[in-house]
Structure 1
Amino acid sequence: MRLATIRLPDGGTSAARVDRDRVRVLPWPDLGRLLADPNWRQLALVGETLPGEEEPQYAPLVPHPNKIVCLGLNYASHIAEMGRPTPQYPTLFAKYDGALIGAHDPVVLPAVSDAVDWEAELGVVIGAPARHVPPDHALDVVAGYTVVNDVTVRDWQHRTREFLSGKTFEATTPVGPVLVTPDELPPGASGLAITCTVDGVVMQHSTTADLLFSVARIVSYVSTIITLKPGDLIATGTPGGVGAGRSPEIWLRPGSELVTTIEGIGQLHNRCVREERPALAPASSTTR
């Protein structure tokens, strides 16, 4: 089953089931609200066919997750290109929902940086509350898998030892287009080809079998720290091939076409645009 959050003509959003030849609108405002119901699998079988034959307008998959947990340094190839030691434990950081955009929305390049990078990643969406889940049961709480590009503002990331400031700029993180339930994929979504191209040039090409920490280990580890909730998003890390790891370094530019693909799940296609700097208010004058 493939589920999504789509934009409606009236400006609202709706959860949807994306079948091979049609899209069915579900009676929930977004996928996160659907996943909050313990019976979401059965409830997702209902729905009314979306009129028209055009591809739906995808909103961020879960627009407002309770948590967005991300991993750094989770592929050996990326660890090597960044010159980091292999971590003993998952390297975790967070994002806020203001960073999330839909599968075909523009990536906004911050006006304060010229060092914006790409990071193709497998996304995991939680489907049931989970706390202290052992690894051998961790996949039971996964609702499904999606595609993420953890677009990163490198100079801001490296201002401090913590990653957050470079990872959660407004409107930089495409997620979607759909959630694919685990029954359609290998266990833990392992062994899927993952690719990122920029302006038609392949920059990253790997497989999710190369994750240092598997989906099961990640979910178990995070659930030991905090309760995972339905709709929570986990981005599992990126393989080698990022712009910062090249010589010379390569960065996204206004007009760059960023395409992120994971076998069996789907594709993000995002054009990069420069953030418009807000106009400065004129200085007030005081008459004496």
Structure 2
Amino acid sequence: MPDLFAAPDLPRLAVRGSADRYPVVRVFCVGRNYAAHAAEMGNEVDRDAPFYFTKSPFHVALTGATLPYPPGTQDYHHEMEFVIAIGAPIFQGTRDAAGAAIFGYGAGLDMTRRDLQGAAKDKRRPWDLGKDVEGSAVLAPLTRAVDFGPVADQRIHLTVNGEIRQDAALSEMIHDCAGIVSDLSKFYHLAPGDIILTGTPAGVGPVVAGDVLHGEVTGCDPVDLTLT
């Protein structure tokens, strides 16, 4: 039977050195995975296990996008993140299985309506209005894990209008990539098409219309966003 309307296509990420594309089916995000960022937000970190929130895949924007400042907020924040892309099914997997299930890595932005997120926290409500925002997951092309090599002390940083805002090393993550994938697989049947934003380092802050954001992770293609 015919659909009542045309459904949108899934976003697809380029893969470095290949004509292949990686369809994004689900977007998971890790909260408070850098101690300095947790501290700047006035939060404790949970070293026992990560915690998660999600974004719609239809809220993904590709690097280089020019997007409007979102409605309903006066405090839109940048959060630069390292991205994991899953390449094989995994459920209740060990760390070794989790590492083997990773297809590749990338650079991304978790854009956040901070004022709405704060209001939700105050009322003990979900963060959806603050986090699951149209165009709020800005993603660069992926680098295959075999080409990226071991995740260690690679630099992750972000500039706004050419000025450094965030600057850290991946080794500062509280929960590493294999640990995150293994833990998340306790709760979901992870599969190709699932991506995970692994948390942001310290230095998050507001952006306004006209700002140009540029983020890099050593070994990955950069991520760029312009707000209008």
TM-score w.r.t. structure 2 length? 0.88
1-structure distance, mates of 2:15, 2:110: 25
Alignment of 1:16-55 (within 5 A): 18-19=16-17, 25-26=19-20, 30-32=21-23
- Structure 1 distance, partners of 2:22, 2:166, is 29
Q: Name the Cα RMSD after superposition.
A: 1.9
Q: Which residue of 2 aligns with 1:207?
A: 169
CA shift at 1:17, angstroms?
A: 5.2
Matching residue within 42, 49, 68 for 1:89: 49
| Distance (Å, rounded) in 2 between the aligned partners of 1:15 and 1:110 | 23
Aligned residue for 1:128, secondary structure, equals: coil
1:44-97 deviation digits (Å, cap 9, x = unpaired): xxxxxxxxxxxxxxxxxx3xx1x2110110001101111111213212101001
Does residue 1:163 correspond to 2:162, yes or no? no
Poorly superposed stretches of 4+, deviation over 6 Å:
none
Displacement of 1:223 after TM fit?
0.3
1:168: how far off? 1.2
1:135-150 alignment runs, 5 A limit: 135-150=95-110
CA distance in 1, matches of 2:29, 2:13: 24
Q: 2:93 aligns with which of 133, 136, 149?
A: 133
Matched, 1:235 2:190: no
One-letter amino acid of the structure 2 residue matched with residue 203 of structure 1:
R
What is the SS of the residue equivalent to 1:260? strand
Unaligned segments of structure 2, at least 5 residues? 1-10
Aligned residues: 214
Counterpart of 1:255? 210
User: Runs of 5+ in structure 1 lacking a partner?
Assistant: 1-12, 33-61, 244-250, 274-288
**What is the percent sequence identity of the aligned residues?**
29
Equivalent of 2:37 in 78, 83, 86: 78
For 2:84, which of 116, 121, 124 is the aligned residue? Answer: 124
Distance 1:141 1:81, change over 3 A: same
Instruction: State yes or no: 1:271 paired with 2:223.
Output: no
Give the distance between the partners of 1:107 and 1:152, measured in 2 at CA: 14
CA contact 1:14–1:25 (8 Å) conserved in 2? no
1:184 is displaced (CA, Å) by 1.8
SS in 1 for 2:223: strand
- Select the structure of larger CA radius of gyration: 1
1:181 equivalent in alignment to 2:172: no
TM-superposed deviation, 1:154: 0.4
Query: Which residue of structure 1 lines up, in the alignment, with residue 5 of structure 2?
Result: none
TM-score with structure 1 length normalisation? 0.70
Q: Distance in 1 between matches of 2:199 and 2:183?
A: 15
Per-residue deviation, 1:18: 4.0
Kindly tell me: are residues 200 and 142 of structure 1, through their superposed partners in 2, closer, same or farther at Cα, counting changes over 3 Å? same
Task: Please tell me whether the aligned partners of residues 60 and 139 of structure 2 are also in contact (alpha carbons under 8 angstroms).
Answer: yes
CA distance in 2, matches of 1:95, 1:255: 25
Specify the alignment match of 2:6 in structure 1: none
Aligned equivalents of 1:172 and 1:268: distance in 2?
13
Where 2:165 maps in the other structure, the secondary structure is strand
Deviation at 1:111, TM superposition (A): 2.3
Shift of 1:14: 7.5
